[in-house]
Amino acid sequence: MERVVQCLAAKASLTGKRILVTAGPTREYIDQLRFISNPSSGKMGYALAQEAQKRGAEVTLISGPTNLSPPNGVHFIGVDTAQTMYKAAAKYFKANDALIMTAAVADYTSAKQIKGKLKKGPQELSLSLVPTTDILTQVSRNKGNKLLIGFAAEVEQLLDNAKQKLKRKNLDLIIANDVSQPGVGFEVDTNAITIIDKAGQIEEYPLMSKQRAAQIILDKIAYIWEQKNAG
């Protein structure tokens, strides 16, 4: 019976909370047909949105293009570019208690989108790229008491890079994963995560399903809220 009570408590641990999740890749268009993107499948973000909804949270999911169906009961907003994702995140962040930024947002976009289709020619082609808006940095300026959770997909110096991002973007948690490892990160159903909090505490977890990783991350978020309430 005690085990059942614990399970029910965990599922209801986010009742009354409003959580904004971003997921998937962005597309930065060169012309009307071609774009710069990345292999993010959106699976981690969708798993987090689904699990948060199951635990009683009111969830808004902002997603770049994926092959996934939005989870039942989740307010879904589809976007494509980094700029449209930024506008949606800035708009909905105000009404939410936390932002979980799992989306793999492009760091650069084409300085100029060519109208129509760029035709192939014999000459070399150079693209001018400019930085996209840093969504987490921008929304953190109006953070207040909200929680900000970021992800760091790295191929080297995992902990150092994640810690720097945590501090630079004023995050409460960062979820780091080494996407150079088999079964981790993009286009797979599994993930191996390292969670780092503002106090510098590090928790490492082995390869597991993204659904299980979502449960662990949301347990951590719920714990932070419990500590804030207790304080």
Residue-range domain boundaries for the chain: 13-106+129-230
The CATH number given to 13-106+129-230 is 3.40.50.10300
Query: What is the predicted pLDDT for the residue at 113?
Result: 85
The separation between the first and the last C-alpha atoms of the chain, rounded to the nearest angstrom, is 30
8-state DSSP, 81: S
Query: What is the predicted pLDDT for the residue at 231?
Result: 63
Angle between helices 210-230 and 43-54 (to 10 degrees): 50
User: Can 161 be counted among the known catalytic residues?
Assistant: no
pLDDT truncated to tens, each residue of the chain (231 aa)? Answer: 334 334 444 555 899 999 999 999 999 999 999 999 999 999 999 999 999 999 999 999 999 999 999 999 999 999 999 999 999 999 999 999 999 999 999 999 999 988 999 888 888 888 999 999 999 999 999 899 999 999 999 999 999 999 999 999 999 999 999 999 998 988 899 999 999 999 999 999 999 999 999 999 999 999 999 888 876
Exactly one of 38, 96, 145, 170 is catalytic; which is it?
A: 38
- The span from the CA of 18 to the CA of 14, in Å, is 8
Contact assessment for residue 185 and residue 153, using Cβ atoms and an 8 Å cutoff: yes
Taking 3-state DSSP, the helix, strand and coil percentages for the chain, each rounded to the nearest 5, stand at 30, 25, 45
- The span from the CA of 124 to the CA of 109, in Å, is 20
Contact assessment for residue 171 and residue 150, using Cβ atoms and an 8 Å cutoff: yes
Stated pTM of the model: 0.92
Of the candidates 228, 187, 190, which has an alpha carbon nearest to the alpha carbon of residue 209?
190
Q: Which residues contact 22 (CB under 8 A, 6 or more apart)?
A: 45, 61, 62, 63, 85, 89, 99, 100, 101, 102, 103, 105, 135
Query: What is the predicted pLDDT for the residue at 121?
Result: 86
Q: Which residues contact 66 (CB under 8 A, 6 or more apart)?
A: 23, 24, 25, 40, 41, 42, 46
